[in-house]
C-alpha cells in the first residue's frame, strides 16, 4: 500500500473538522438529517493521524529513546471569501516543535499539504508546502507558522434548489413523510455529497510515519 493511498484514506476517514456554523447555512450529518445550517464556505480541519510528525535519529528504530524531533500542527484558522464565482479559503496554522538534542543551532524543515476534498472522498486538488523550525543553540522548543489557500467553484458547492427545499421543508406531525429523513433518498444524499467540500491541512508524511502515528 502506497503512502499516497494511506494519506487519501486518512483524509477520507477524518472524523472532526474545525468548521464554523452560522445562520442561513445547511449542515447534514449522515443518519441525522438537518442539524444546523451552513453555506458554500468549506469546513477546514486536520485529517486523522496527519497533525503531528516524529523523526528518529536512527532509521527503523521507533523507540522513544531514538526520537529526534517531534512537531505538531495547531491553531488552524481560516478566512473565506464567497463573493465571487470561486470561493476562496485562506488557511493559517502554527507548528510547535521539540527536539531531544539541544546542542547547536539547527533548522528543521517539514512538508505539509493543503487538500480540497469533495463529498468526503474525492481529492480535487493538493498542494505541498514547507515550514521551517529554527532551534537556537541550547533551545529545546521552536515555533513556526504556515499558510495555504484553496479555491472551490461556488456553483458546485451550492445545493440545487429542489434538494434544498426538500431538506429545509417544515414537516408536521401526522404527515406521511414527517418522520422520513430526506437523506434516505439516494438522490438527495448524492446531491449533498457533491456540494460538500472540505479544505484539509496536515503534514506530508511517509508511509512509515503514517503507520507510526496510527499504531503508537
- Which has the closest alpha carbon to 17: 160, 116, 146, 133? 116
pLDDT tens digits for range 47-68: 999 999 999 999 989 999 999 9
Cell numbers placing 114: 493543503
pLDDT tens digits for range 163-184: 777 776 666 555 555 556 666 6
* Domain boundary assignment for the chain: 3-158+195-215
- Which has the closest alpha carbon to 211: 9, 73, 49? 49
Query: Got the DSSP string for 24-62?
Result: T--EEETTTEEEE---SSPEEE--TT-SEEEEESSTT--
Q: What pLDDT sits at residue 160?
A: 79
Count of Cβ atoms closer than 10 Å to residue 70 Cβ? 14
pTM for the whole thing? 0.77
pLDDT tens digits for range 91-146: 999 999 999 999 999 999 999 999 999 998 899 999 999 999 999 999 999 999 99
What confidence tier does 20 reach under pLDDT thresholds 50, 70, 90?
very low
Q: Using CA atoms, how far apart are residues 200 and 202, in angstroms rounded to an integer?
A: 7
Q: Using CA atoms, how far apart are residues 182 and 164, in angstroms rounded to an integer?
A: 10
Q: Using CA atoms, how far apart are residues 216 and 210, in angstroms rounded to an integer?
A: 10
Average pLDDT of the residues in 15-30: 42
Specify the higher pLDDT residue, 84 or 30. 84
For residue 37, pLDDT beyond 80: no
pLDDT, averaged across the chain: 82
What confidence tier does 189 reach under pLDDT thresholds 50, 70, 90?
confident
Amino acid at each position: 500500500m502506497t503512502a499516497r493511498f494511506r494519506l487519501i484514506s486518512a483524509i477520507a476517514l477524518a472524523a472532526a473538522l474545525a468548521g464554523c456554523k452560522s445562520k442561513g447555512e445547511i449542515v447534514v450529518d449522515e443518519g441525522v438529517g438537518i442539524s444546523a445550517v451552513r453555506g458554500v464556505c468549506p469546513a477546514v480541519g486536520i485529517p486523522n493521524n496527519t497533525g503531528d510528525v516524529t523523526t528518529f535519529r536512527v532509521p527503523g528504530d521507533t523507540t522513544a529513546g531514538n526520537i529526534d524531533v517531534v512537531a505538531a500542527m495547531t491553531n488552524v484558522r481560516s478566512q473565506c471569501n464567497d463573493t465571487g464565482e470561486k470561493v476562496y479559503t485562506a488557511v493559517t496554522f502554527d507548528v510547535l516543535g521539540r527536539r531531544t538534542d539541544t546542542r547547536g543551532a539547527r533548522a528543521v524543515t517539514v512538508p505539509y499539504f493543503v487538500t480540497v476534498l469533495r463529498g468526503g472522498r474525492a481529492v480535487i486538488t493538493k498542494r505541498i508546502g514547507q515550514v521551517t523550525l529554527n532551534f537556537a543553540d541550547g533551545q529545546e522548543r521552536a515555533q513556526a507558522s504556515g499558510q495555504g489557500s484553496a479555491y472551490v467553484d461556488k456553483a458546485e458547492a451550492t445545493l440545487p434548489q429542489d434538494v434544498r427545499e426538500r431538506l429545509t421543508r417544515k414537516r408536521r406531525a401526522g404527515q406521511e413523510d414527517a418522520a422520513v429523513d430526506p437523506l434516505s433518498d439516494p438522490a438527495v444524499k448524492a446531491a449533498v455529497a457533491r456540494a460538500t467540500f472540505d479544505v484539509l491541512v496536515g503534514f506530508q508524511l511517509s508511509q512509515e510515519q503514517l503507520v507510526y502515528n496510527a499504531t503508537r
